[in-house]
Amino acid sequence: MPIIKNLLELNKNWYLFLAVLWLFCITVASLVSVEIVKEVESGIEVSDKLVHGIFYFVNTVLFYCYYKKINLKRAISKVSLFSFAYGIIIELLQYVLPYERSFDLRDIIANLVGILIAIFLINFYLARRLR
């Protein structure tokens, strides 16, 4: 898969740029008023939990690619803990900010599922690469 191979060979700074940009997008999408989200809806029904999983899957992969030069287990631990904590912080902000958003434990679980799938696929990719 040449696209994935090219993405995996980007300069380390590009990963950081993409990861921070992605994190900014997650933050904006998670904290804007519900009224704005309703105006932007495309008419395509997508599960909110699927979107959470994808957000945090991509977040975990991008930050892993930035930190991948350090010890593998340490990089995965660092990135997954950061992603999980960030998801909890976003949910807490939704609870306290007056933007008609609400805390949802299922969102945190969906974030965790996305993170775990990313960890599994990173480990699978690395295991295949080492063969």
* HSE of 88, CA atoms in CB hemisphere, 13 A: 7
Q: Which of 55, 65, 117 is nearest to 91 (CA)?
A: 55
Give the pTM: 0.80
Residues of the chain with pLDDT under 70: 1-9, 33-46, 70, 129-131
pLDDT reported for residue 43? 54
* HSE of 54, CA atoms in CB hemisphere, 13 A: 8
pLDDT reported for residue 55? 93
